[in-house]
Amino acid sequence: MSIVLLSILSGCYKDEVDLAALTTNPFDPGYTGPAFIAVTNESTQQVAPNVYNQVLEIAVDHGILQPAASYKLLVTDLNNDTATELQQTAPGSNTFTYTNNSVALGVEYCYTISVLVQFSTTRNEGFCALAEL
């Protein structure tokens, strides 16, 4: 009888935490859900003779990523291997603007973009665009 009781009791508790399935939090670097960072607009602007900037308008989907506090975006220019932190345009805003100074026309520039919270980043989203007028 006690064996049966013990079996019943032990059957109540199982290790139900599947580590491989823990990928649903968008703040998780291993997040596998839909992208929540999107480049909404890209343009190349001439700011001086033979000097061009590439401007990216970036939006974060707050329907997926629901931050409890302000956050930054980290944009890494893979062509030059430089990283830039972007502040929110306004508190609570989900839009950011990134400007890559001195791009060369006709060159494709690639970037990785992620949310930066307390010196750690979410999953990188990749974006490439050709610098052209």
Partner 1 sequence: MTRTATFLPACLLVLTALAQEQGRVRFFVDPGDDFSFVLDNKYRLQQREISLSPGPHTFTFWAPRHAMVDTSFTVIADSLSILTLRLPLSLEYIDHQRELHRFRRKQLLTRSLPAAATAGVGIWAVAGFFAYRNAHNDLQDLEKEYADLQVPRAIAQLKEQEIPAAKETFKEKRTAFFIAGGLFAAGLVGTIHAFRSTAHREVPVFEDKEKLRFEGLVWAPGAQGGTWAAGISLPLR
Site for partner 1 in 99-118 (CB under 8 A): 115, 117-118
| Residue 120 interacts with partner 1 (CB under 8 A): yes or no | yes
Residue among 100 and 122 whose Cβ is closer to partner 1: 122
Check: CB of residue 131 under 8 Å from CB of residue 124: no
**3 state DSSP class of 64:** coil
| Residue 3 interacts with partner 1 (CB under 8 A): yes or no | yes
Check: CB of residue 30 under 8 Å from CB of residue 23: yes
Q: Interface with partner 1 by CB under 8 A: which range of 24-32, 49-57, 91-99, 124-132?
A: 24-32
| Residue 94 interacts with partner 1 (CB under 8 A): yes or no | no
Check: CB of residue 129 under 8 Å from CB of residue 42: yes
Least distance in angstroms from the C-beta of 86 to partner 1:
17
Least distance in angstroms from the C-beta of 60 to partner 1:
13
Check: CB of residue 40 under 8 Å from CB of residue 59: yes
**Which tokens is 61 given?**
């989907």
| Residue 19 interacts with partner 1 (CB under 8 A): yes or no | yes
CA angle 78, 27, 108 (to 5 degrees): 20
Check: CB of residue 133 under 8 Å from CB of residue 46: yes
Interacting residues toward partner 1 by CB under 8 A: 2-3, 6, 9-10, 13-17, 19, 22, 24-25, 27-30, 67-69, 115, 117-122
